[in-house]
Amino acid sequence: MLGFGYKRAARVGDLILKEISQMILRGEVKDPRISSVVLTGIELADDLSFARVFFTVMDSDNVNTEDVLAGLESASGFIKRELSKRLHLKKIPNLRFEFDSSLNEGWKIERLLKEVKGE
């Protein structure tokens, strides 16, 4: 049974991530602070009570990630209500958003490598 719970959590997590991404992309979440957000992953508890949603920002050098996080947190109630309408689950997990710096670090390393290679 342990494997079943994990698979279900992974499937539901993928659905949640897809729905939130579509809400942001379509402009359904009307907060301008999150216009450049890209969701990168989700960790969902096996009992579906809690989800950590990871995001990055396309232009992180010019955007304050704390402002983006505040925008996502202020929209989390709206997002959760919309998820309950769209996914028809018994329980929609509580959402916590976290900045994912791994892509930005990768881009910085790539820029540095290009600079070194160009010299």
Q: Angle CA(15)–CA(18)–CA(20) in degrees, nearest 5?
A: 105
Q: What are the structural domain ranges in the chain?
A: 2-118
Q: Angle CA(21)–CA(92)–CA(63) in degrees, nearest 5?
A: 35
Lowest mean pLDDT among 3-7, 14-18, 54-58, 108-112: 3-7
- Look up residue 79 and give its amino acid: I
Query: Which contacts of 78-86 are long-range, i.e. CB under 8 A and separated by 24 or more positions?
Result: 78/29, 79/20, 79/23, 79/29, 82/19, 82/23, 82/28, 83/16, 83/19, 83/20, 86/19
CATH code that applies to domain 2-118: 3.30.300.20
More confident residue, 58 or 16: 16
Q: Say which residues have a Cβ less than 8 Å from residue 37's Cβ, sequence separation at least 6.
A: 24, 55, 56, 57, 68, 72
CA-wise closest residue to 54 among 105, 5, 103: 103
The confidence score (pLDDT) of residue 119 equals 59
Residue 16's pLDDT band (cuts 50, 70, 90): very high
CA-wise closest residue to 107 among 40, 14, 13: 40
The confidence score (pLDDT) of residue 58 equals 81
Residue 4 clears pLDDT 60, i.e. is over it: no
Write out pLDDT tens, residues 25-50. Answer: 999 999 999 988 999 999 999 899 99
